[in-house]
Amino acid sequence: MCCVLRDEQYCGTGCQEGPCFLPPPTNNVDVSSIVTDAFFNGIVDQSDAGCEGRGFYTRAAFLEALRNYGQFARVGSEEDSRREIAAFFAHVTHETGHFCYIEEINGTSRDYCDETSTQYPCNPSKGYYGRGPIQLSWNFNYGPAGRSIGFDGLNNPEIVATDPVISFRTALWYWMNNVHSVIGQGFGATIRAINGALECDGGNPATVSSRVRYYTQYCDQLGVATGDNLRC
């Protein structure tokens, strides 16, 4: 119904019958020419040599996962594309410690089961703690991510920590569904979309500063201005 009515009341987030509006046209930016070996490995090389993420997170796995997300960093101007790439990798760097961590530290001791999310019921023997480049968490994210990507997110969440391509796909899935649409509002809006409840509005200024620092660094490397509204 929502695709026919094209009404915001029916076309908003959660529409069950598919997108109501066509996505914006993509530009001609080649993401792989921006996310070079030097750029990607420059992040990895700042992690400790003994990190479990080394050898798991690779540029090849990222580029393979990217094949499923043609809108990523390809909307707007080339500068917009470079800023989105810088933003994505800034958050990934913060979340994983320069691609060091695959799973959340002490994640097994934490409860990420939202029992009110009846559409994605928890398997009591599984943990939905942070895994992968964006540290995907909660049953209400694992369920739809798995459905979209093609794995059983509720009964096999561990695959996000064992298959590097699926791992990157979960990060890109989350980004495209929750972050991509606000990138034009400034980097601060991307922080709010990822972890705003815990960090924004004075919640944790130190982690906000960490994310902004990485974003600024990567914008410098990619030769693009950061834009405004860096904090939340």
Q: State the catalytic residues.
A: 95
Residue 88, helix vs strand vs coil = helix
DSSP state at residue 60: H
- Tell me the C-alpha distance between 91 and 164, whole Å: 17
- Tell me the C-alpha distance between 52 and 105, whole Å: 12
By C-alpha distance, which of 215, 179, 214 is closest to 195? 179
Long-range contacts of 123-129 (CB under 8 A, 24+ apart): 123/154, 123/155, 126/154, 126/155, 126/157, 126/158, 127/157, 128/157, 129/103, 129/104
- Tell me the C-alpha distance between 186 and 196, whole Å: 14
Judge contact between 223 and 91, C-beta under 8 A: no
Give strand pairing partners of 103.
Answer: 131
